[in-house]
Amino acid sequence: MWKDLLTTGLEIMKMHGLGNDFVIIDSRGREPVTDAAFARAVGDRNRGVGFDQLAEIRFSNAADIDLDFWNADGTIAGACGNATRCVASLILDETGKSEVVIRTRRGLLEARRSKNGLVSVNMGIPQLSWREVPLAEDVDLQHLPIAGDPVAVGMGNPHCVFVVEDAETVDVATRGRAIEFDPLFPEATNVEFAQVRSRNDVRMRVWERGTGITLACGSGACATLVATHLRGLTDRAVSMQVDGGWLELDWQEDGVWMTGPTAHVFDASLTPSFLASI
């Protein structure tokens, strides 16, 4: 735990994928350091570093690495597509491999370098039963009994996807906050607002559970593709514009592949005095 580092400090790095920003901690060779209090302190954008999610790399017996995710409010995230792509970029560079496998709570995820330096990750087969999402009861996932007629999709995280006429005019903060803790979602939910501009062009904005509005959400982008395709509105491959830029999504037989840019912003060290203040 982080309390064992009070005399040495802790090395971290900051990365982002389309403005979806992460603190990355490499804990291979030691016990994991993150708990809820630590995640909240580091995630504080005024008194800590700030992030949408924290990703902690661990040694793996089953993959190239294990990867855990934490939200800014100290809760555990089951999946984080853009953070997975960011860490995959690091491991691809480190190992020199053309493909790497990362084990998360979502399962074993394959990642590879794509064209123009972009990174692709297979976020797995969508979870399309009410228990997998999960929901509190057995309802029609494509037409939830919630105002606005949203779709429920599981991608390691629960997602509630609204198809809207104009994503730019949606009050994401108000609506997202209201839906996040709807009783139908016992583990809370991410909330997406998707405007279908053509069968292969979607505009999406997102409220992430445990964090709030973010500039991009990888699992949310995957869930949005699945939801809009199941509604018959899009093909299985789309370009998706999020607040931070563009992602390419492709729902193949082995899962939903997501491709986009990554950026390594800086390396730093959390000081012993900061750690002692948690």
Q: What is the pLDDT of residues 239-269, one digit of tens each?
A: 999 999 999 999 999 999 999 999 999 999 9
Range 163-168 contact pairs with CB under 8 angstroms and sequence separation of 24 or more: 163/194, 163/195, 163/196, 163/227, 163/228, 163/231, 163/233, 164/193, 164/194, 164/195, 165/195, 166/195, 167/193, 167/194, 167/195, 167/203, 167/204, 167/205, 168/195, 168/203, 168/205
Rg, Å, the chain Cα set: 18
> Mean per-residue pLDDT for 69-98?
95
Average pLDDT, the chain: 96
Q: Name the residues annotated as catalytic.
A: 80, 217
Q: What is the model's pLDDT at position 204?
A: 98
Contact (Cβ atoms closer than 8 angstroms) between residue 35 and residue 1: yes
- Give the whole-angstrom CA distance, residue 168 versus residue 109: 32
Domain borders along the chain are 2-113+262-277, 151-253
- Residue 2 has what pLDDT? 64
pLDDT digits 0-9 by tens, 173-185: 999 999 999 999 9
Give the residue-averaged pLDDT of 52-58.
Answer: 97
d(CA 201, CA 57): 34
Domain 2-113+262-277 top-level CATH class: alpha beta
Asked whether the predicted pLDDT for residue 1 surpasses 90, the reply is no
What is the rounded CA–CA span in Å between residue 237 and residue 229? 9
pLDDT for 7 equals 79
For residue 66, name the pLDDT band (cuts at 50, 70, 90): very high
What fold, for 151-253?
Diaminopimelate Epimerase; Chain A, domain 1 (3.10.310)
At 101-143, the pLDDT tens digits run 999 999 999 999 998 889 999 999 999 999 999 999 999 999 9
pLDDT at 83: 97
Question: Residue 196's beta-bridge partner residues?
Answer: 202
Q: Which pLDDT belongs to residue 258? A: 98
Residues 214-244: pLDDT tens digits?
A: 999 999 999 999 999 999 999 999 999 999 9
Please tell me if the domain spanning 2-113+262-277 has the same topology as the one spanning 151-253. Answer: yes
